[in-house]
A = this chain, B = another copy of it.
Amino acid sequence: MKTIQIETILRDNKLKVTPKRTLILGTLVSSKLPLSVADILVRLPQNADIDTVTVYRNLEAFVSADIVKEYAIKKGMTHYEYKSGHSHHHLVCTNCNRIEDFTICAAQDISKKVLNQSKCFTSITSHNFELFGLCKICSK
């Protein structure tokens, strides 16, 4: 995706446009998978010279602006994914952490039923759904 398009996303979401912020969001937008902070640092252009703290603070800003979603896929490390139009879930290899997307989900129906039965909740606003298994390489 072009830099200008990334800048448009930032402006549309009332986030100040800076070169580093643009690079960080660009990294997320062009990734098909959720990325950890370490992943992002590796994928940033080598001459970008962006501090780890800057990555954390920008991710926080993106999450607050609701353009990036946080996942606790792996114990002890948060992953971040750009919220593109099409919602999907993740199938994760328990051995190598490879991720494949899928779109089937029954959370809407289930949410309604659960809310009807619930004693102490008045609304359900979101859900997490992840499948775990073994990929072809790791199942050998």
A residues lining the B interface (CB < 8 Å): 70, 72-76, 78, 91, 93-94, 98, 100, 102, 104-107, 109-111, 113-115, 117-137, 139
Contacts and interface: CB of A to CB of B under 8 A. Distances in A.
Contacts of A126: 94, 131-133
A122 B102 contact: no
A76 B75 contact: no
Nearest to A111: B131
B102 A120 contact: no
18 contacts: A72-B74, A76-B76, A91-B121, A94-B126, A100-B118, A100-B119, A105-B110, A110-B131, A114-B131, A115-B133, A120-B137, A121-B135, A121-B136, A123-B133, A126-B132, A127-B129, A128-B129, A128-B132
Contacts of A128: 128-130, 132
Contacts of A125: 94, 132-134
Contact of A78 (B75, B115, B133): B75
Contacts of A115: 133
A118 B132 contact: no
